[in-house]
Structure 1
Amino acid sequence: MSWTTPAIADVDYHIDINQPAHHLAQVSVSFPQTDLKVLTVNLPVWRMGRYQVLPIADGIRLFNATDSKGQSLPWKRTASGEWQIALIKPTAVKVTYQLHANELGDRLRHIDNSHAFLDGSGVFMYSPAFSQQPVTVNMAVPKGWQSYSGMDKGSTSHSFKAPNYDVLVDSPIETGINQHFSFEADDRQYEVVFWGEGNYDTTQILTDLRKISGQASTIWADYPFKRYVYMVHATSGASGATEHLNSTVIQLPRFNFRERQDYLRFISTASHEFIHSWNVKSYRPQGLVPYDYQSENMTDLLWMVEGSTSYFQNQLLLRAGVMTAKEFFDDLSKRIVLNQHNPGREIQSVAEASLGQWSSTWGDYAVNHSVNIYSEGYLASMALDFSLLSDTQLEHSYRDVHKALYQQYKVPMGYKVADVQSILKTLSGKDYQPWWQEFVNQPFSLPFDELLAHAGLITTYSKAPKTVIDAGMTLSELHGDLTIANVLKHGPAWNAGIAAGDEIVAVNGLKVTADGFTKRLNDFNVGDKIKLSLFSDDRLKEVSLQLTEQPKGELSIEAVAEVSDAQKAFYQAWLGVDWPFDDKGDWIKSTD
């Protein structure tokens, strides 16, 4: 309720990083004069890129509100991320609070003696009444620190400005002792900021990021940014990455950059987050437009947001020459194996997984009854791509769907399932509702060899797989003991009545240790029954478990015996690169 409309003026933020050793800072927000009788102030309950409600406000203490004369204003907390300030007369309002920032692993906020990483959702409160007003951020940081963000620079080297809160909350700040580099690609400016010591090669990373950044035109016609910032954290253990409006943060343990597999993981992640500048930041499902920072943003299309991004990430690397064809298909082979060993693919659809993402914890129940919007969304995207290529005689691919979404549904618009199906019909002349029902709205299993045969490929084991004894369960890596983490549905442990959380103490009456359990199982044969002694809810129980076998070997993707010109043409239309095998079926280029 108000007397008049709030005035148009800047919202000014100030953050004083005064106790970095204790992860503390002091934040103030100055709101313009308002005639509102109650000014509502919020801190988001979720952050960009992580579709789960989090206890973000737990890092806030010493909240206070004053008027334009510095006099205290009465306030009350009305929700986990909401404070309401009572105003007796028109006045400007200043809100101050202490911030605790030690959530590096969540990529939310982190302050120590060497840097501060500040994701706006975990740091800066806002008022809905002023969320579309211009924003300035000024920081007081220790001497020698350097500050970077996707936001425009302000009046000092430690200040930034944004047109509104939506840009502020989606433009994290990295300030501290760091290395900074820049390059240009396709008439766009890029910056790379490294924090933390590690075994990364800055020259190689800059070279490959430049190559990736020049590949965007293979999907989209233009760019949603003029400047983009890659923030790289070499950590003591935290990992993960988050996309933002015109920047990204990528974290890896400090010595996990140099080995080829580690580096591919890093550079693939960088490609993934870069693609998000279009897919979810520039166009996104209707349920995510506009962002509601105080509650879940429900949509059954998160599999397109994350899974399709995962599907495109290595294609950009392949086209850029950063990843070889063999490395590309090694990654796809692993995805196929994971899919085939996931009981949840028979239970949950990608649409349902998208809606369930906000409450997903991915525990033992999820392993057996769920799918992942990233991995299963990748496979749904692949199935859609192959269908579209076939239906259009290679004239159109799934890339054209995303190009159309970017052209027709830029934020603040949001697209619906019907809009995607309309684009598919325009491209193919075919009604894709039946396809959608089969592969999106219900669980699906892909005939991988049948699909890959279109591109002249087949799955195979390069070496005859050996079999290993299988008990159908995995041990917890967190506990470092014999606590059971997951029990595979309908496997030996499942059938024996063993559950996650049980702790194994003996096999056939003899004590067993965590590092010796697998060796102990290998003393038996397939079909043998063993007696396991376990603690279950602190009670000792004994079960009889019949061992089975499981193939163990590396699945690979190779060329079919006699590839046709049509198959080579499909391959080229699919991935945008030339056929990678010689006449003998060997890889033309390989890192092996």
Structure 2
Amino acid sequence: MQGIGRFLVLALAMITATHASEGPQPLPLPTPVPAPRDMPFKGSIELSVDATNTSQRIYRVRETIPVQSTGPMTLLYPQWETASHAPTASATALAGLVIRSQGKPLAWKRDAVNPFAFHVDVPAGATTLDLAFQFLSPFSARQGLVSTTPDIVTVPWHSVLLYPAGWFVRNIPVTAHLTLPPGFQAVTALESRPERPLAFDTTSLETLVDSPVVAGRHVKRYDLGAAGDAPVRLTALAASADDVEVDAVQLGKLRAMVRQTRALLPTRHYAHYDFMLALSDDLPGPGGIEQAQSSSDVLAPDFFRNNADHLVDRDLLAHEFVHSWNGRYRQPADLWSATFNEPMRGSLLWVYEGQTEFWGRVLAARAGLRTTQETLDALAVGAAGVLGQGGRAWKSLQDSTNDPLIAAGHPMSWRDWQRREDYYGEGVFLWLAVDAEIRTKTHDAKSLDDVARDFFAGGKEGDMTTSTYTFDDVCAALQRVAPNDWPTFLRSRLDSHDPGHVTDGLAGEGYRLVFDATASDYFRQSEIDAGARDFSSAVGLTIGKGGIVKTVSWNGPAFRVGFAPGARIEAVNGQAYRPELLDGLLEASKPAPLQLTTTMDGTTAIIVVQPVGPLRYPHLQRIQGTPDRLGALLAPRP
């Protein structure tokens, strides 16, 4: 007994020694979802979507999936979205899931750690699984991304299907059918047959999801492509017939944008291209979602009727068109994934989005969508905005490429300190610096045009097979055009906190950023776009309707006396708040302290703010004695 006792004590001591502390230990995680493999898929998924219920925003889905083998099977609801580069899809929108085989219901179980995975046992003898469920579109932006309105229906295929785990999505064939409300006309990059409901040619799941459908009551189509080239079309959809009318002048500029893009990127990677433009205040926008052969775009209903009021958004279609090359044909290797449920990594979003944003600005100028002066003003506002991001002191441009994972779907209280997806705005100035460096190294014989033409518009005409790239590939492409130490050049800017790197590209192009007392039209329209008057340069505040503070500059004058977003400014120096009143007080060369009657957290108090100076607005100024390289960059191509 004594020997046995000593053995038990020793055994217990050994067990205890395997853990560093007392308390629970984790249970094993469920078996992982089967990893995707590049192998054939037998048969074709049959998908039928009924999108006729626009009043209740309900899509009804029926799907038949060929059985590949009996036994355990996992079905996936797409989680990662191309446009957001993040797992932004919502599993809450899928409801009412029923799975049957041979007419009998099958029990399914949602994965305990992955809510986008559904497990089911396929019985012997089953040849197909028959699914039925609903996709429930949000009614408002507060609930999520609205997909349908009474007048416009969008069909994001990734929201209305499940697919079997274990295969690359490019290897899974799908035959889709779509029922739309009576009188609705549809536009999509998919090939279809003239049937009702709409019947689309069988294509891969990858291509299907990259080819959403937009349909509406009032639809008008415009040809933008050159005769003899692959078709490029604009389809405008709206709640009003007046909103889809595009006058000859605007149409000419849009056609010029297509010509200028094709001059920059002469090898196309689409059979045809469709701008699917919803003119709506109810759908999420303004903005666009890129696809290989189309883009889903949203602008204000009066975008064409009152185009002078929409200066800020005039480069949207150019941006999305460039994505057909930069983003869909050429794609960062770590951003590409084999399925819609595999993680994406965005280390090269400063290329994918940053250079696309750069070309959107440039092509808008070359096409006349914005004048050269309007483009210079846009660059000035952009540069001032980047320099005003206090968060550059701790968060680099490279780190901002993690923002889709950090910030997607999460509001930010201190936007300038936390930073959010600044690879767009700051990316423009990175690529301006690259263009200036190329021109300097080649004595103005070459430019970033040559790099884009080589890197994004290579390959065969019409080839739509994605070609991935790495950081080294980007550097090699630059090296072919202008020999230089490009890895050091890029890393010194991507990893830097030096504000000088924001404006050195402008200087290399022959311009400097200056500030004066006159706001440009672009600045004023940017305020309207943001829904707030911008008093940042003097007191570090932007103020929206009703005196509500929208943003507070980190460590700015208002921040230092306790202001926070959401505060309400009731009065200025005893007078009821009006933007014009504050404007007038901040015009003086040395503004006096402001007494701001402010309500925060239910308490009203007078807070004194000392302006750092008068209101000043950004502009670009030519550096005399230097070549006007920016003018050369923005000039139309033959």
TM score, norm. by length of structure 2: 0.79
Please report how far the alpha carbon of residue 86 of structure 1 lies from its aligned counterpart in structure 2 after TM superposition.
1.8
Classify 1:353/1:411 alpha carbon distance in 2 versus 1 (closer, same or farther; 3 Å): farther
Answer yes or no: is the 8 Å Cα contact 1:23–1:100 preserved in 2: yes
Query: Is residue 443 of structure 1 aligned with residue 476 of structure 2?
Result: no
Answer yes or no: is the 8 Å Cα contact 1:103–1:109 preserved in 2: yes
Classify 1:267/1:500 alpha carbon distance in 2 versus 1 (closer, same or farther; 3 Å): closer
Q: Which amino acid aligns with 1:422?
A: A
> Paired residue for 2:178, among 123, 139, 162?
139
Answer yes or no: is the 8 Å Cα contact 1:6–1:129 preserved in 2: no
Provide the residue aligned with 1:168 in structure 2. 208
Q: Which amino acid aligns with 1:192?
A: L
Answer yes or no: is the 8 Å Cα contact 1:188–1:226 preserved in 2: yes
Please report how far the alpha carbon of residue 377 of structure 1 lies from its aligned counterpart in structure 2 after TM superposition.
0.8
Q: Which amino acid aligns with 1:547?
A: P
Query: Is residue 293 of structure 1 aligned with residue 328 of structure 2?
Result: no
Distance in 2, matches of 1:342 and 1:333, equals: 14
Please report how far the alpha carbon of residue 172 of structure 1 lies from its aligned counterpart in structure 2 after TM superposition.
0.8
- Where do 1:169-184 residues align within 5 Å? 169-183=209-223, 184=225
Provide the residue aligned with 1:202 in structure 2. 246
- Where do 1:69-468 residues align within 5 Å? 69-78=102-111, 79-89=114-124, 90-102=126-138, 110-129=147-166, 131=169, 132-154=171-193, 156=195, 158-183=198-223, 184-185=225-226, 187-196=229-238, 197=240, 198-199=242-243, 201-204=245-248, 205-238=250-283, 239=285, 240-290=287-337, 292-294=339-341, 296-360=343-407, 361=410, 363-370=412-419, 372-406=422-456, 407=458, 412-446=466-500, 451-452=505-506, 454-460=508-514
Provide the residue aligned with 1:583 in structure 2. none
Classify 1:71/1:447 alpha carbon distance in 2 versus 1 (closer, same or farther; 3 Å): closer
Q: Which amino acid aligns with 1:229?
A: D
Answer yes or no: is the 8 Å Cα contact 1:333–1:555 preserved in 2: yes
Provide the residue aligned with 2:559 in structure 1. 494
Provide the residue aligned with 1:48 in structure 2. 82
Q: Could you report, residue by residue, the CA deviation over 1:533-590 in whole angstroms, capped at 9, with x for unpaired residues? A: 65554566765533332333452445x5566xxx25x457634549xxxxxxxxxxxx
Distance in 1, matches of 2:199 and 2:614, equals: 58
Classify 1:217/1:379 alpha carbon distance in 2 versus 1 (closer, same or farther; 3 Å): same
Answer yes or no: is the 8 Å Cα contact 2:57–2:139 preserved in 1: no
Range with greater deviation from structure 2 (330-339 or 548-557): 548-557
Provide the residue aligned with 1:11 in structure 2. 45
Answer yes or no: is the 8 Å Cα contact 2:550–2:566 preserved in 1: yes
Unpaired runs of at least 5, structure 1: 579-592
Distance in 2, matches of 1:322 and 1:540, equals: 47
Q: Could you report, residue by residue, the CA deviation over 1:225-282 in whole angstroms, capped at 9, with x for unpaired residues? A: 0111111111135422211121112212212334444454444101000000011111
Distance in 2, matches of 1:571 and 1:554, equals: 17
Answer yes or no: is the 8 Å Cα contact 1:364–1:485 preserved in 2: no
Q: Could you report, residue by residue, the CA deviation over 1:91-143 in whole angstroms, capped at 9, with x for unpaired residues? A: 30111101222468699662344331112222233223463222111122233
Distance in 2, matches of 1:485 and 1:284, equals: 36
Please report how far the alpha carbon of residue 423 of structure 1 lies from its aligned counterpart in structure 2 after TM superposition.
2.3
Classify 1:72/1:278 alpha carbon distance in 2 versus 1 (closer, same or farther; 3 Å): same
Please report how far the alpha carbon of residue 513 of structure 1 lies from its aligned counterpart in structure 2 after TM superposition.
5.0
Range with greater deviation from structure 2 (180-189 or 436-445): 180-189
Unpaired runs of at least 5, structure 2: 1-33, 521-533
TM score, norm. by length of structure 1: 0.84
| 1:548 alignment partner, SS class | coil
Distance in 2, matches of 1:70 and 1:431, equals: 66
Provide the residue aligned with 1:589 in structure 2. none
Classify 1:70/1:465 alpha carbon distance in 2 versus 1 (closer, same or farther; 3 Å): closer
Q: Which amino acid aligns with 1:443?
A: H
Please report how far the alpha carbon of residue 426 of structure 1 lies from its aligned counterpart in structure 2 after TM superposition.
3.2
Please report how far the alpha carbon of residue 287 of structure 1 lies from its aligned counterpart in structure 2 after TM superposition.
1.4
Answer yes or no: is the 8 Å Cα contact 2:517–2:617 preserved in 1: yes
Distance in 2, matches of 1:250 and 1:422, equals: 33
Answer yes or no: is the 8 Å Cα contact 2:346–2:401 preserved in 1: yes
Answer yes or no: is the 8 Å Cα contact 2:215–2:237 preserved in 1: no
Distance in 1, matches of 2:587 and 2:380, equals: 31
Provide the residue aligned with 1:586 in structure 2. none
Answer yes or no: is the 8 Å Cα contact 1:13–1:28 preserved in 2: yes
Distance in 2, matches of 1:188 and 1:76, equals: 47
Q: Could you report, residue by residue, the CA deviation over 1:134-166 in whole angstroms, capped at 9, with x for unpaired residues? A: 211112223322222111114626122352111
Provide the residue aligned with 1:590 in structure 2. none
Please report how far the alpha carbon of residue 521 of structure 1 lies from its aligned counterpart in structure 2 after TM superposition.
6.0
Q: Which amino acid aligns with 1:39?
A: M
Please report how far the alpha carbon of residue 49 of structure 1 lies from its aligned counterpart in structure 2 after TM superposition.
1.2
Please report how far the alpha carbon of residue 359 of structure 1 lies from its aligned counterpart in structure 2 after TM superposition.
1.8
Range with greater deviation from structure 2 (180-189 or 496-505): 496-505
Distance in 1, matches of 2:147 and 2:318, equals: 24
When the two structures are aligned, how many residues end up with a matched partner? 567
Classify 1:404/1:233 alpha carbon distance in 2 versus 1 (closer, same or farther; 3 Å): same
- Where do 1:570-589 residues align within 5 Å? 570=629, 574-575=633-634, 577=636
Classify 1:541/1:352 alpha carbon distance in 2 versus 1 (closer, same or farther; 3 Å): same
Please report how far the alpha carbon of residue 26 of structure 1 lies from its aligned counterpart in structure 2 after TM superposition.
0.8
Query: Is residue 470 of structure 1 aligned with residue 538 of structure 2?
Result: yes
Distance in 1, matches of 2:353 and 2:325, equals: 12
Percent identity (aligned): 19
Q: Which amino acid aligns with 1:326?
A: Q
Q: Which amino acid aligns with 2:220?
A: H
Provide the residue aligned with 2:529 in structure 1. none
Distance in 2, matches of 1:525 and 1:126, equals: 65
Q: Which amino acid aligns with 1:194?
A: A
Please report how far the alpha carbon of residue 420 of structure 1 lies from its aligned counterpart in structure 2 after TM superposition.
1.4
Query: Is residue 24 of structure 1 aligned with residue 58 of structure 2?
Result: yes
Distance in 1, matches of 2:584 and 2:625, equals: 46
Classify 1:81/1:391 alpha carbon distance in 2 versus 1 (closer, same or farther; 3 Å): same
Q: Which has the larger radius of gyration?
A: 2
Distance in 2, matches of 1:496 and 1:461, equals: 26
Distance in 2, matches of 1:37 and 1:401, equals: 52
Provide the residue aligned with 2:614 in structure 1. 550
Distance in 1, matches of 2:309 and 2:205, equals: 36
Distance in 2, matches of 1:571 and 1:436, equals: 20
Range with greater deviation from structure 2 (187-196 or 334-343): 334-343
